[in-house]
Amino acid sequence: MATEPRVLVEPRQEFSVEIGGFNGGVALLPSPPTTPKAHRFQGGLIRSDMLEITGQVVRPGPLRGRRMRIWLNQLERWHFSRRGPPDIGDLYDRTGELPGGGLEAMIYIPKDAWLPATQCLGKTWRRLSLTGVNGDGHRMTIVDFAFSATNA
């Protein structure tokens, strides 16, 4: 089975993704014993409010048409490093790792913006633009992202 070559190798790369749909909401999972009790929900669960967005890459050209899964998660509190870019997300190429694996992103929005963001996602947003830096072929750090209502 041939796999596509790793593509996340640029020092800085702009992406545009057409949003196809989203799914998710609240998920509850059993908590592993290694999770600190303070981070467990009702003593033995992990709670996640992530949304999964599905989309198709529009640019850059070499990735055009590839499917991308984007996980939208809440950022509890801001933390900026003096040595690196802000921790607002990561982009991965998981092609060949799992069946159906491909491009995946995890991006964080402020917790206070969660409700309006999910409403806009359902009603207006059609496109996601994001910038990745420090590509190593497998992963890039996302330094900025923006949702928009236009498909241009």
Rg, Å, the chain Cα set? 16
Q: What pLDDT sits at residue 95?
A: 84
pLDDT in tens, 59-79: 999 899 999 999 998 887 665
Concatenating the DSSP letter of every residue in 116-132 gives: HHHHHHHHT--EEEEEE
Q: What are phi and psi of 134, to 5 degrees?
A: 60, 45
Contacts of 2 (CB under 8 A, 6+ apart): none
Global pTM value: 0.78
pLDDT at 23 over 50: yes
Asked whether 145 and 129 are in contact (CB, 8 A), the reply is yes
Instruction: Give residue-wise pLDDT tens across range 76-125.
Output: 766 556 666 667 899 999 887 777 778 999 999 888 888 888 888 888 89
Position 1 pLDDT exceeds 50:
no
* Integer angstrom CA distances of residue 81 from 10, 84, 87, 88, 112: 22, 5, 8, 11, 21
Average pLDDT, rounded, for the chain: 83
Give the rounded percent of residues in the chain with a pLDDT score beyond 70: 84
- Contacts for 64 with CB less than 8 Å, ≥ 6 apart: 57, 58
